[in-house]
DNA sequence: CACCATGTTCCTTG
DNA sequence: CCAAGGAACATGGT
């Protein structure tokens, strides 16, 4: 479920709930999740630590902790992978089937649930170093974006997924941003004009901001099932992200601008959706 | 049975 | 050395 807006929504939701909470114990149920940190080491280092803060970088979550037996702050890097979500839950009910990591906070559990186990919770911070600028950072200028694009002959759609170019654009919003900017997903990155780079960066910011404002792509909602629990809900009408996305997953359906049928193509083994009429160049 | 799925990393190929 | 494409990871849904 993670595109960057989901991560941002997680962070805003969890930050006030976790701040100041002390971890009694940690149980890693899926060994893979803490890679490359050994699961037993992860459990040991975090037992007794206190949550100080939570922030986001690209699609990563950064948990700042104060360890029990050391003054040195500790950072845990989280990633939701494809199907991860994090929430607090009461300790009465059963743990979910795909609970990857469970933090015992005393009154409640903090749970990292991840059906496909592509996500991570680790002490290894190295993935952060390779990330490019934050798309919503005002200091990230269209000119800088354009300079980066000029270095690559890759198609612009594929290039947008490169987290060292911009940190946080995923497969859904790459298609959405190109649709809004009216740029062909097949255009080589180094052939965008400065004007197109400006349009594209603006479109990226718009789609991400819209989604964050709407509470994320996947109708992720904070509901009062257990205090502070995060759950998906599906309102039952068509596909649950259909109203918010203008081109993604709409193959064969009419373009919202010109009625031309939306086309699905494969680029770098991922689906791309676009309007062959609006996105000619 | 087939193919698809919001992400990242590794391997092969050129 | 780099760029680009594809497979792998794991568990589903349709």
Question: A197 vs A16, A167, A246, A257, A276, CA distance in Å?
Answer: 37, 16, 20, 21, 19
SS3 of residue A142 by DSSP? helix
Active-site residue, from A59, A159, A180, A250: A59
Walk across the sheet containing A84-90 and list its strands. A25-28, A99-104, A108-114, A84-90
Which bases of chain B are contacted by protein, using any atom under 7 A from a CB? 4-9
* pLDDT tens over chain A, length 281 residues: 578 988 998 898 899 999 999 999 999 999 999 999 999 999 999 999 999 999 999 999 999 999 988 889 999 999 999 989 898 888 988 899 999 999 999 999 999 999 999 999 999 999 999 999 999 999 999 999 999 999 999 999 999 999 999 999 999 999 999 999 999 999 999 999 999 999 999 999 999 998 887 765 444 444 333 333 334 444 444 444 455 789 998 999 999 999 999 999 999 989 999 999 999 88
* A6 CB below 7 A from strand B atoms: yes
For the CA of A186 and the C1' of B13, the distance in angstroms is 22
Q: Is A2 a catalytic residue?
A: yes
For the CA of A79 and the C1' of C7, the distance in angstroms is 22
């Amino acid at each position: 479920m993670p595109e960057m807006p989901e991560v941002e929504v997680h962070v805003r939701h969890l930050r006030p709930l976790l701040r100041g909470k002390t971890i009694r114990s940690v149980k890693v149920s899926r060994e893979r999740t803490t890679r490359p940190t050994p699961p037993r080491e992860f459990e040991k280092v975090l037992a007794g630590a206190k949550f100080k803060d939570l922030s986001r970088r690209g699609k990563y979550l950064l948990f700042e902790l104060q360890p029990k037996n050391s003054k040195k702050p500790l950072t845990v890097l989280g990633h939701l992978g494809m199907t991860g979500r994090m929430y607090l839950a009461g300790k009465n009910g059963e743990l979910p089937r795909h609970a990857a990591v469970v933090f015992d906070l005393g009154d409640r559990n903090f749970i990292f649930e991840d059906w496909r186990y592509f996500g991570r919770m680790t002490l290894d911070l190295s993935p952060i170093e390779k990330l490019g600028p934050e798309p919503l950072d005002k200091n990230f200028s269209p000119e800088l974006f354009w300079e980066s694009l000029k270095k690559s002959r890759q198609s612009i759609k594929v290039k947008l997924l490169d987290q060292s170019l911009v940190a946080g654009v995923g497969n859904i919003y790459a298609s959405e941003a190109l649709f809004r900017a009216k740029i062909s997903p097949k255009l080589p990155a180094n052939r965008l004009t400065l004007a197109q780079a400006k349009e594209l960066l603006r479109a990226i910011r718009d789609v991400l901001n819209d989604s964050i404002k709407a509470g994320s792509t996947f109708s992720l909602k904070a509901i009062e099932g257990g205090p502070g629990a995060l759950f998906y809900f599906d309102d039952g009408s068509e596909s649950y992200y259909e109203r918010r996305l203008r081109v993604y997953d709409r193959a064969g359906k009419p373009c919202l601008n010109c009625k031309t049928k939306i086309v699905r193509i494969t680029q770098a083994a991922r689906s791309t959706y676009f309007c062959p009429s609006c996105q000619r160049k």
